[in-house]
Amino acid sequence: MDSFDVKSKGAGNDYLRSVKPMDEILRQDQFSRADLVRLLESAGADRTALFSAAAARKEEVVGKKVYFRGLVEFSNECSKDCLYCGIRHSNSKVVRYEAADKDILAACRFAWDNKFGSVVLQSGELSSSSFINRVDRLVKQIKALSNGELGITLSCGEQTRETYQRWFRSGAHRYLLRIESSNIELYHKIHPNNEHHSFEKRLECLRLLKACGYQLGTGVMIGLPFQTMENLAEDLLFLKRLDVDMVGMGPYIEHEDTPLYEYRTLLKSKKERFDLALRMVAALRLLMPDINIAAATALQAIDPAGREKAVKIGANIIMPNLTPSAFRKDYQLYEDKPCLDEDADQCRNCLEARIELAGSEIGYGEWGDSRHFKNRQEA
């Protein structure tokens, strides 16, 4: 059968849809938007074939190892008012906190002692000089306490080139700044329409991070109100064009104390969002075989085995939550966030068992740097 594209006229969708045989698409190294839509809509035998192909590509290119990134959510103070986020600035119901330096460093020491390899410092978005200085100090202290052995990823929002460079020189080497949607119209539907929530600035920050030498990470939400399959296919192509080194993406889960909650009737079921997120992970592994892909915690909020299911079909990064347990309930970007009552030991033991069940092994004591980043640097 010849390969060609036809128009699909489903409700709210008007895009070119590939009618290539699935096995032909899965043999490709390059994918069109129509090909990706076909993968994202796959069901039954086609879905099984997608997952098998992605699992095989993962094992071939990045191997069976899964790398830990000990997650420390050190503050929920935020200057942003993103319409989907539970810790948005205008949510007066949030109990705000800033973990003490000693508690942050204790969590990082736990990660080092337990050979996690890397930590992630994550917070709401702030840009005050006191915040910038504090992050810089923490990065240096983490490097000192671990004899330079802990890798450090930062997820602290939009900053200036000078700030990014400063943190990089102090020892951070990965940065995660999620775009959430690469479609500018959808981006404006899930963010306030003002200069403080600029799509163009977000893109510029992603470019700055790469220019500063970071391993660049970003990601999107899957199953948003107003979002189409075409939007998601475009998101995948955006990640490819941006030439990212790592991706963290997961299903959108609504939060009742946000403006976007008003549109919950437009949402797919949580199970549908979960299944779509798995297809996104698998499609991304085929599209960008050598990048790092995180198994998002939001997957486990829907399915207790969500993260290991993602590991089986393409993900190779897990982020155990090392946030001091007293603060975890106050860092809820979405509802039903899992692991709020587990201490660090329980979280580690649980994930070890899950990863073993998924047929993978943990890369203890390894940074697990993106192979894509290494290939890009060599090129």
Assign 3-class secondary structure to 140-159: HHHHHHCCCCCEEEEECCCC
| Domain 64-378 CATH class label | alpha beta
Phi then psi for residue 318, to 5 deg, are: -125, 140
Q: Please tell me the distance from the alpha carbon of residue 275 to that of residue 92, in angstroms, as a whole number.
A: 33
pLDDT (0 to 100) of residue 28 = 95
pLDDT (0 to 100) of residue 303 = 95
pLDDT (0 to 100) of residue 287 = 98
pLDDT (0 to 100) of residue 359 = 82
Q: Please tell me the distance from the alpha carbon of residue 159 to that of residue 214, in angstroms, as a whole number.
A: 14
Q: Please tell me the distance from the alpha carbon of residue 28 to that of residue 31, in angstroms, as a whole number.
A: 7
**What is each CA distance from 192 to 94, 159, 356, in whole angstroms?**
19, 19, 43
Length of the chain measured in residues: 379
**What is each CA distance from 183 to 11, 189, 230, 231, 234, in whole angstroms?**
19, 10, 10, 7, 8
Q: Please tell me the distance from the alpha carbon of residue 153 to that of residue 151, in angstroms, as a whole number.
A: 7
Rg (CA), the chain: 20
Cα 181–Cα 183–Cα 185 angle in degrees, nearest 5: 110
pLDDT (0 to 100) of residue 351 = 74
- Give, rounded to a whole angstrom, the gap between the first and last alpha carbons of the chain: 38
**What is each CA distance from 98 to 118, 124, 295, 353, in whole angstroms?**
21, 10, 26, 32
Q: Please tell me the distance from the alpha carbon of residue 193 to that of residue 196, in angstroms, as a whole number.
A: 8
Task: Residue 132: name the closest of 156, 102, 108 by CA.
Answer: 156
Q: Please tell me the distance from the alpha carbon of residue 308 to that of residue 316, in angstroms, as a whole number.
A: 10
pLDDT (0 to 100) of residue 311 = 95
pLDDT (0 to 100) of residue 341 = 60
- Give domain limits for the chain: 64-378
Q: Please tell me the distance from the alpha carbon of residue 153 to that of residue 94, in angstroms, as a whole number.
A: 26
- Would you say the pTM of this structure is higher than 0.85? yes
The DSSP secondary-structure symbol of 369 reads -
Contact 336, 253 (CB under 8 A): yes
Task: Kindly give the confidence (pLDDT) of every residue in the chain, 379 residues in length, as a single tens digit, with 9 standing for 90 and above.
Answer: 333 343 443 434 445 666 789 999 999 999 999 999 999 999 999 999 999 999 999 999 999 999 999 999 999 999 999 999 999 999 999 999 999 999 999 999 999 999 999 999 999 999 999 999 999 999 999 999 999 999 999 999 999 999 999 999 999 999 999 999 999 999 999 999 999 999 999 999 999 999 999 999 999 999 999 999 999 999 999 999 999 999 999 999 999 999 999 999 999 999 999 999 999 999 999 999 999 999 999 999 999 999 999 999 999 999 989 998 888 888 877 777 766 566 667 666 777 777 877 788 999 999 999 999 999 988 8
Task: Tell me the torsion sign for CA atoms 371, 374, 294, 249.
Answer: negative
Count CB-CB contacts under 10 A for residue 79.
Answer: 15
